[in-house]
Amino acid sequence: MGFETLGKTTEPRKRSTIMKYKNKAKTRSCKIVTALAATGAVASCAFGQATNAPAAKDGMISLVGLEPAINYAFRRNLEFYGDPNTEGGNLWDRTQLTGNWGGLRDQAVARGVYLDASVTQFLQGDVSGGKNQGPARYNGSADYWLTVDSGKAGLWPGGAIFAHAESSWQANKSVNGDTGSLLPANYDATMPSNGRSDNIALPELYLAQGLPGNLLAMVGKVDFAGIGDQNLFANNERTEFLYTGLVNNPILGSFLPYTPLGAALDWAPSKEHNLAVLGVQSDGNGTTAGFDNFNGNYAVGSQYTYSPTLAGHLPGDYHFLVAYSTKSFTDFNVNSQDLIGEIIGKVPVSKKDGNYCALASFDQYLWTRDASETPADAPSRKGLPLVGVGLFFRAGWEPQDRNVIDQFYSFGIGGYGGLPGRDRDQWGLGWAGTHISGDVRNDLKVLGRSANEFENAVETFYNFAVTPAMHISLDLELITSAAPSVDTAVVLGTRFQFDF
């Protein structure tokens, strides 16, 4: 991406030259690889490698204002107030229920401050199998996002501070306790802490800074697994699948706990290639500041992403990740976000030093609607995923002599829109297979217990956009637990999601 293509406009609600470039190339700015590539270019301009980059206050480069993709990627959310798709008007048309707060929100965005909130509520019931059948279970959560663009705020060029707070209610009464599955049927109920209803927590607070050479640095308390394992069709429990294995690869939980303290450096030399390296605490959770988790254990990892455009119009992303942890084990490693410990209990193991894994994943469009076929009254989708259908896949491996899960696989199909007039809808169908380590199964036999070789789950959902700011999903999960005594659980549910 040449620096000379930047800087033709500074109006936040008009399509920038970068956005035009992305649309022409049929890429999605919601994907982190293109976001970071653009960010690195912005930062390079900020440090004097080009002079025609768009400026914010006092001539400083605006990271989020120039490239909204950075907010999409870090929030794992396809909209925020002040992005190119923000719409006002009446309740049925606007993208945020509370609008612009009498003009205050627009003034905040002009000064580099982006504020958003969303509420997600669930009503799910185990109607057959599992451990308990009964009335539908209700739980919910709220997310609050704050982004301060340092360039727009007149502080320093090419940087941004990101904060993400969460609150939950009835998490301990979610459907997760009914299914008997090792991976939770409702991933949202595990955050910010598994099975606990916290008033409010601040699991994420970090700084992102563009650097010369198409580099982006991050430091702070970050959901590194959520960002690193992004997938266009299976990565967001608020809008897509609910089962844990169809949101992220659970193997990552052995290396990247939910929002540890850490740092990462990302290099995006072009829109097709991206390389990231990171180092984080091996321990941590979303309800503490993390400074009490400096116990000498850490994890390091690296991910390469290749983002081709097949047949000239079908974008995709292919990720390859390796990680290593210094953590020592005296029992099989259990990720606190999962329910494995509750199902099988602690199983001792001869002391093992360190842990390592290799993961691969992809999302790939199979069909996209041509721009010439877009209805005149279709909603704006600047920088958002294309209307179309695609495949997704995940796989992972870690050693069986120190981990409960030693292999993981998932695949499926998903889409955005497709039905006439339903461009904001989403849908998906997926399978996840969680392989239980042969060593842990053998040790369980010695202890008089047992576990199946695989836990299998199939899930389908349809996310119906009532308005741009209100969504209702219908969801069905079939989960065959790794616990032999538990019959296949059939979970029916609805999800209500509101953007404020």
For range 73-77, the mean pLDDT: 85
Indicate if the pLDDT at residue 20 is higher than 60: no
- pTM, full prediction: 0.84
CA distance 316 to 256: 25
Name the percent of the chain lying above pLDDT 90.
Answer: 51
> In the beta sheet, which residues pair with residue 208?
160, 218
pLDDT, position 490: 97
pLDDT in tens, 27-66: 333 333 333 333 343 333 333 333 333 455 566 788 887 7
Q: Structural domains in the chain?
A: 3-499 (2.40.160.180)
DSSP letter, residue 46: I
- Of 5-9, 381-385, 402-406, 427-431, least confident by mean pLDDT is 5-9
Which has the minimum average pLDDT: 20-24, 228-232, 298-302, 323-327?
20-24
Q: Which residues pair with 489 in a beta bridge?
A: 479
Q: Which 8-state DSSP code applies to residue 77?
A: -
Find all residues with CB under 8 Å of 59, minimum gap 6, and list them.
Answer: none
Query: For 274-291, what is the mean pLDDT?
Result: 82
pLDDT over 50 (residue 489) = yes
* pLDDT at 17 > cutoff 50: no
Q: Is the pLDDT of residue 252 over 60?
A: yes
127 burial type by CB count under 10 A (0-12 exposed, 13-18 middle, 19+ buried): middle
Section 474-488 average pLDDT: 93
